[in-house]
Amino acid sequence: MLVMLFLSSGLFLGWSLGANDASNIFGTAVGTRMVKFYTAAIVASIFVVLGAVISGAGATHTLGKLGSVDMIAGAFMVALAAALTVFGMTKLSLPVSTSQAIVGAIVGWNMFAGKPTDMAALTKIASTWVMSPILAAGFSLVLFFIVQFIMKYWKIHIFRLDVYTRIGLIVVGAFGAYSLGANNIANVMGVFVSVAPFDTLHIAGISFSGVVQLFLMGGLAIAVGIFTYSKKVMMTVGEGVVKLTPQTALIVVLSQAIVLFLFASKGLETWLMAHNLPTIPLVPVSSSQVVIGSILGIGLAHGGRGIRFRVLGRIASGWVTTPVIAALISFVSLFFLQNVFDQQVVKPTHQATLQQNISLETPGHG
């Protein structure tokens, strides 16, 4: 029971991810009524869970390198600090991403625990934040010209194009949901991995490790978020913020899915390594920022008209402000959890335990 209480912050992060980020995948399709909400929700939920369970380990491993939270109470507070950062910054209408918040929160835990932050891992993660929207813009630019070429030379009837686009939006949406689950489960459950309190389960001859069970729970939390709250966000995305045609929506979702997949796929990493090619770091990236990159690609394909550079500036500022705020919240709240609620948030080292024992035995103390 206590375990579930500690996991609740991660599950809340998962719910919030499902509520918000599913709209990046199916928002335009549902908002423009090309795909029914329940079709989108079912497809997204199934593939988010599959992505999380099958391919979630890669990005989680990178987060683990940044800082390995070693007590479940600490993991609870790190996830909660990230969730509070996302909630607070969203309320203040500031650009925010769960991926950046969780990284900040982990760094906050490192500071609190007095452990060094792996700067190489941090640099790698931060560079992907910059790289991912740029890469998405590149992919959508290329895809735009491919789709334009197909439409020009195949002369598809408007009614038939509608059917192809609907099917495409569902198929590409499924790929996008899989990639989102694979890439972003690290944000939701990554900090709990090294303290996973579950034993391996054997059901029908299949083993489910503690980590897989964690990812499954996180994936289900995302699915609950999709079903309970994403419709409202999807309608807003589809109708308001950016006007995309169904075909450009397809391009945006596909380039987003490719980018999320690139930053999550261990299989691709292994293949690149086997062919002596440079690998792509497996890091959780912000799907919202990747989507903005994709839309930017469409804007560039149209000759750069209507690109709002202020929006891009706000995203770049979020790369700095989000982790800093999350680190501070994490540090302060870990202090409170340890000293006010008397919860151990950092595993004591052997030396610290010895010192504590000595101080208890020395007369005059206590």
Partner 1 sequence: MIFKKTKNLELKMDAFLDKISEAGIVYRRGIKNYMNKSGDDFERHVAQIKQLEHEADELRKNIETQLYTQTLVPESRGDILALMETSDDVIDRATDTLVEFSIENPNVPEPFRDGFIELARTTVKATEEMVKAMRAFMRDPLNVRNYLHKVYHWEKESDRIAGELKRAIFASEDLKLSEKIHLRYFALHVDTLADRAEDVADRLAIYTIKRSI
Q: Name the site residues for partner 1 (rule: CB under 8 A).
A: 32-34, 144, 147-148, 151-152, 155-160, 162-163, 245-248, 251
**Alpha carbon 7 to chain centroid distance?**
17
Q: Which is nearer to partner 1, 147 or 220 (CB)?
A: 147
Judged by beta carbon, residue 91 or residue 152, the one nearer partner 1 is: 152
DSSP 261-293: HHTT-HHHHHHHHHTT-PPPP-----HHHHHHH
As measured in angstroms, the least distance from the Cβ of 102 to partner 1 is: 36
Q: How far apart are CA 117 and CA 291, in angstroms?
A: 29
Q: Rounded to whole angstroms, what are the CA distances from 282 to 39, 133, 170, 303, 348? A: 30, 15, 26, 32, 30
In the complex, minimum distance from the CB of residue 144 to partner 1, in angstroms, rounded to a whole number: 7
CB of 23 to partner 1, least distance (A): 18
Q: How many CB atoms lie within 10 A of CB 145?
A: 11
In the bound state with partner 1, the residue whose beta carbon lies nearer, of 44 and 147, is 147
Q: Which is nearer to partner 1, 157 or 350 (CB)?
A: 157
Non-local CB neighbours of 122 within 8 Å, separated by 6+ positions: 66, 103, 107
Can you tell me whether residue 10 is helix, strand or coil?
helix
At closest approach, how far in Å is the CB of 166 from partner 1? 9
Whole-number minimum distance, CB 155 to partner 1, in Å?
Answer: 5
* 204: exposed, middle or buried (Cβ count in 10 Å: 0-12, 13-18, 19+): exposed
Nearer of residues 162 and 199 to partner 1, judged by Cβ: 162
Tokens describing residue 193: 């991995």
**Closer Cβ to partner 1, 33 or 232, answer by number:** 33
Minimum distance of partner 1 from residue 160's CB (angstroms): 5
Closer of 75 and 244 to partner 1 (Cβ)? 244
Q: Which residues on adjacent β-strands are paired with residue 208? A: 201
Q: How far apart are CA 111 and CA 116, in angstroms?
A: 7
Closest approach, Cβ 292 to partner 1, in A, equals 19
Q: Which of 340, 73, 15, 314 is nearest to 191 (CA)?
A: 73
183, amino acid identity: N
CA distance 34 to 170: 10
